[in-house]
């Protein structure tokens, strides 16, 4: 049987890391089995669903490269089938109309609370005589439709979860849950099960919070005479204090869109997310798409909750350091022809892109990116820390200026003189510049390090970066000379 899985988000907020991981695991399972990945937007909660959230889901999956094979289907489009199913359950006695008012239910709930027993609806409308039901309906008394959970004390629902193993629940512990609201709208628990059957889903791969719904959904399937899909529930992702991730608590860092904005490579993020709850038998961590599809297996999803190590307020580690490490490693090692389009997009965004980078300066562009990528954690850094390579309008880091320029006032005269020297070089590469520096420092009786560090700050604004001479080579003779000539402006005369 062909494997069919689905990602079924509710478009009621932003797409978060947990949701994206669910999508990823479904996608991996589909690809691994030459199956079908269905995207279903569960928009039955009309008050909370927004078009913007739908768009964010589509954009997010597209950005991650998790292409779906069918859909997006919209749950509301299947409303007729949901109601038809509810009616079938009514007809077969697996569901009943409940006319209890909110006030009546409140009284029942309060009585249970007073007696310190967990409240469940007592099923009184289940026993209403047919004439009474008829009369109430004629009179237009509002009602909900409840599922009639088997009341045999020995009855239980069980399923073999691919991650959590055998899960069993006594029917007595499942109340007669509502499947259609009094305004006639079917509830998620019903729609979700009906749609899984309609979409011929073979494996339901979803967050562990779905486990609570599964027995009820299995009861619905049993009542309809349908074989339920296989379930695989994934552990939740918690923060380092073991709290569930949420935008309210953790802010943007849990939203997928944020990773895109802050310069993540989509695959680096996928690779990181894959390990939030799954591990390879040999402990390997870096995978290409094809390798991950090959290695991934539902049976290796951990039961333990996974931890997203995010510490608020640490700007350097603005997300889990492991995620940053993955991104940096990909940036540093991926094939240049795959990286360059991302760098181009980043520079375009920042207004630093020049068409010549793809034309006559193509080779220069690639060399420059290759040189600077070694130290970057995100794509953003190509336009921030890397700005001095693509524009003359870059900023100077105060600390670097203090340490490398202001501390050595002689550089005020020396750097322009060095500039004149460099301007005369017939060949401007890292060897010739290095020779020029060494002999210049020796002649002037000053430590080479002082001239080197001063130059670094004068031409790039910082005190860190690639080797100075390689850096000078990619910056090029004209820019280096010009920036060194302007250095005195950074070192006020006493
Ligand atoms: N719409 C549900 C959610 O977003 C789907 C749960 C499921 O995958 O069955 O939580």
| Residue-by-residue pLDDT tens, the chain, 494 positions | 999 999 999 999 899 999 999 999 999 999 999 999 999 999 999 899 999 999 999 999 999 999 999 999 999 999 999 999 999 999 999 999 999 999 999 999 999 899 998 888 999 999 999 999 999 999 999 999 999 999 999 999 999 999 999 999 999 999 999 999 999 999 999 999 999 999 999 999 999 999 999 999 999 999 999 999 999 999 999 988 888 888 888 888 999 999 999 999 999 999 999 999 999 999 999 999 999 999 999 999 999 998 888 888 888 899 999 999 999 999 999 999 999 999 999 999 999 999 999 999 999 999 999 999 999 999 999 999 999 999 999 999 999 999 999 999 999 999 999 999 999 999 999 999 999 999 999 999 999 999 999 999 999 999 999 999 999 999 999 999 999 999 999 998 86
**pLDDT for residue 243:** 87
Cα separation, 216 vs 233, in Å, equals 15
**pLDDT for residue 84:** 98
Q: Which of 371, 379, 387, 350 is nearest to 462 (CA)?
A: 387
DSSP secondary structure of 345-399: HHHHHTT---GGGGTTTHHHHHHHHHHHGGG-SSGGGGTTTTHHHH-S-----HH
Q: Is the CB of 10 under 6 A from ligand 1?
A: yes
Q: Which of 181, 268, 173, 259 is nearest to 216 (CA)?
A: 173
| Cα 325 to ligand 1 centroid, rounded to whole Å | 31
Q: Is the CB of 203 under 6 A from ligand 1?
A: no
**pLDDT for residue 120:** 87
| Cα 16 to ligand 1 centroid, rounded to whole Å | 13
| Tokens 């006559």, located at residue | 360
Among all residues, which ones are annotated catalytic?
A: 247
Pair 21, 276: CB distance under 8 Å? yes
pLDDT, tens digit, 9 for 90 and up, residues 316-328: 899 999 999 999 9
**pLDDT for residue 417:** 97
Q: Is the CB of 210 under 6 A from ligand 1?
A: yes
- Phi-psi group of 104: left, alpha or beta (phi > 0 → left; psi -120 to 50 → alpha; rest → beta): alpha
Pair 316, 286: CB distance under 8 Å? no
Domain architecture of the chain: domains with CATH: 335-382 (1.10.8), 395-494 (1.10.10.350)
Cα–Cα distance list, 67 to 27, 71, 261 (Å): 8, 11, 20
Q: Is the CB of 78 under 6 A from ligand 1?
A: no
- Strand arrangement, sheet containing 230-234: 70-74, 36-41, 4-7, 203-207, 230-234
Q: Hey, which bits of 10-74 come out as E strands?
A: 36-41, 70-74
Q: Is the CB of 42 under 6 A from ligand 1?
A: yes
Distance of CA 459 to the CA centre of its chain: 37
Q: Is the CB of 195 under 6 A from ligand 1?
A: no
If 0-12 CB within 10 Å is exposed, 13-18 middle and 19+ buried, where does residue 75 land?
buried
**pLDDT for residue 360:** 97
Q: In a mutational test of the pocket of ligand 1, which residue from 24, 192, 196, 232 has the highest number of ligand atoms less than 8 Å from its CB?
A: 192
Cα separation, 408 vs 400, in Å, equals 12
Cα separation, 71 vs 460, in Å, equals 49
Pair 66, 267: CB distance under 8 Å? no
Pair 234, 163: CB distance under 8 Å? yes
Cα separation, 440 vs 450, in Å, equals 12
- For residue 9, the ligand 1 atom closest to its alpha carbon is 4
Q: Is the CB of 192 under 6 A from ligand 1?
A: yes
Q: Count the helix, strand and coil residues of the chain and give each as a percent rounded to the nearest 5.
A: 50, 10, 35
Q: Quick count: other Cβ atoms within 10 Å of Cβ 139?
A: 8
Is the preceding peptide bond at 72 cis, omega within 30 degrees of 0?
yes
**pLDDT for residue 137:** 97
- For residue 209, the ligand 1 atom closest to its alpha carbon is 10
- For residue 196, the ligand 1 atom closest to its alpha carbon is 9
| Cα 4 to ligand 1 centroid, rounded to whole Å | 16
| Tokens 């979700």, located at residue | 192
Cα separation, 158 vs 376, in Å, equals 50
| Cα 207 to ligand 1 centroid, rounded to whole Å | 8
Cα separation, 342 vs 339, in Å, equals 5
Q: Which of 349, 167, 334, 364 is nearest to 266 (CA)?
A: 334
| Tokens 């996608």, located at residue | 27
| Cα 7 to ligand 1 centroid, rounded to whole Å | 8
**pLDDT for residue 311:** 82
Q: In a mutational test of the pocket of ligand 1, which residue from 54, 191, 206 has the highest number of ligand atoms less than 8 Å from its CB?
A: 206
Pair 273, 301: CB distance under 8 Å? no
**pLDDT for residue 202:** 98
Q: What is the DSSP letter of 357?
A: G
DSSP secondary structure of 194-205: HHHHHTT-SEEE
**pLDDT for residue 117:** 87
CA-based angle 434:436:437, to the nearest 5? 65
| Cα 489 to ligand 1 centroid, rounded to whole Å | 61
Q: In a mutational test of the pocket of ligand 1, which residue from 7, 10, 190 has the highest number of ligand atoms less than 8 Å from its CB?
A: 10
Pair 149, 116: CB distance under 8 Å? no
- Strand arrangement, sheet containing 178-180: 95-98, 144-147, 178-180
Q: Is the CB of 8 under 6 A from ligand 1?
A: yes
Cα separation, 158 vs 219, in Å, equals 10
Q: Is the CB of 456 under 6 A from ligand 1?
A: no
Buried/exposed 336-350: b ≥16 CB within 10 Å, e otherwise: eeebbebbbebbeeb
Cα–Cα distance list, 232 to 27, 28, 244 (Å): 14, 13, 20
DSSP secondary structure of 398-413: HHHHIIIIIT-TTHHH
> Can you read off the two tokens belonging to residue 76?
């509301």
**pLDDT for residue 315:** 84
| Cα 101 to ligand 1 centroid, rounded to whole Å | 29
> Can you read off the two tokens belonging to residue 200?
């011929």
**pLDDT for residue 224:** 97
Q: Which of 483, 379, 481 is nearest to 436 (CA)?
A: 481
CA-based angle 220:12:47, to the nearest 5? 80
């Amino acid at each position: 049987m062909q494997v069919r899985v689905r990602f079924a988000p509710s478009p009621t907020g932003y797409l978060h890391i947990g949701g994206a991981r669910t999508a990823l695991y479904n996608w991996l399972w589909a690809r691994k089995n030459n199956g079908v990945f269905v995207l279903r937007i569960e928009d039955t909660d009309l008050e909370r669903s927004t078009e913007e959230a739908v768009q964010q889901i589509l954009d997010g999956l597209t950005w991650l490269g998790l292409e779906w094979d069918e859909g997006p289907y919209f749950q509301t489009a299947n409303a007729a089938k949901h109601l038809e199913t509810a009616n079938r359950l009514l007809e077969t006695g697996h569901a009943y109309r409940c006319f209890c008012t909110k006030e009546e239910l409140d009284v029942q709930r309060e009585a249970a609370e007073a007696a310190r027993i967990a409240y469940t609806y007592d099923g009184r409308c289940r026993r209403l005589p047919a004439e009474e039901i008829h009369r109430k309906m004629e009179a237009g008394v509002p009602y909900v439709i409840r599922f009639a959970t088997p009341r045999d004390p020995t009855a239980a629902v069980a399923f073999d979860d691919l991650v959590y193993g055998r899960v069993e629940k006594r029917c007595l512990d499942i109340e007669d849950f509502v499947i259609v609201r009094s305004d006639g709208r079917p509830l998620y628990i019903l729609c979700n099960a009906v749609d899984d059957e309609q979409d011929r889903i073979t494996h339901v791969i979803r967050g562990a919070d779905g486990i609570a719904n599964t027995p009820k959904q299995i009861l619905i399937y049993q009542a309809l005479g349908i074989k339920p899909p296989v379930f695989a529930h994934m552990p939740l992702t918690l923060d380092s204090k073991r709290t569930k991730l949420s935008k309210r608590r953790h802010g943007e860092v849990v939203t997928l869109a944020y990773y895109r904005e802050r310069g993540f490579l989509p695959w680096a993020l996928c690779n990181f997310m894959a390990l939030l709850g799954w591990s390879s038998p040999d402990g390997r961590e870096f995978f290409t798409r094809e390798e991950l599809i090959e290695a991934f297996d539902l049976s290796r999803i951990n039961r333990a909750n996974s931890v997203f190590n995010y510490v608020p307020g640490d700007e350097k580690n603005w997300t889990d350091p492991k995620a940053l490490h993955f991104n940096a490693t990909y940036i540093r090692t991926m094939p240049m022809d795959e990286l360059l389009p991302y760098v181009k997009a980043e520079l375009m965004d920042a207004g630093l892109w020049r068409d010549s980078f793809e034309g006559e300066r193509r080779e220069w562009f690639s060399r420059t990116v290759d040189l600077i990528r070694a130290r970057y954690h995100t794509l953003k850094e190509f336009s921030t820390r890397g700005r001095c390579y693509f524009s003359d309008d870059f900023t100077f880091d105060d600390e670097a200026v203090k340490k490398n320029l202001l501390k050595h006032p002689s550089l005020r005269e020396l750097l322009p003189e060095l500039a004149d020297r460099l301007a005369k070089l017939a060949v401007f590469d890292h060897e010739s510049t290095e020779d020029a520096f060494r002999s210049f420092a020796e002649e002037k009786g000053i430590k080479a390090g002082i001239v080197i560090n001063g130059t670094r700050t004068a031409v790039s604004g910082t005190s860190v970066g690639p080797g100075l001479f390689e850096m000078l080579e990619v910056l090029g003779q004209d820019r280096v000379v010009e920036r060194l000539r302007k250095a005195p402006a950074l070192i006020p005369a006493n």
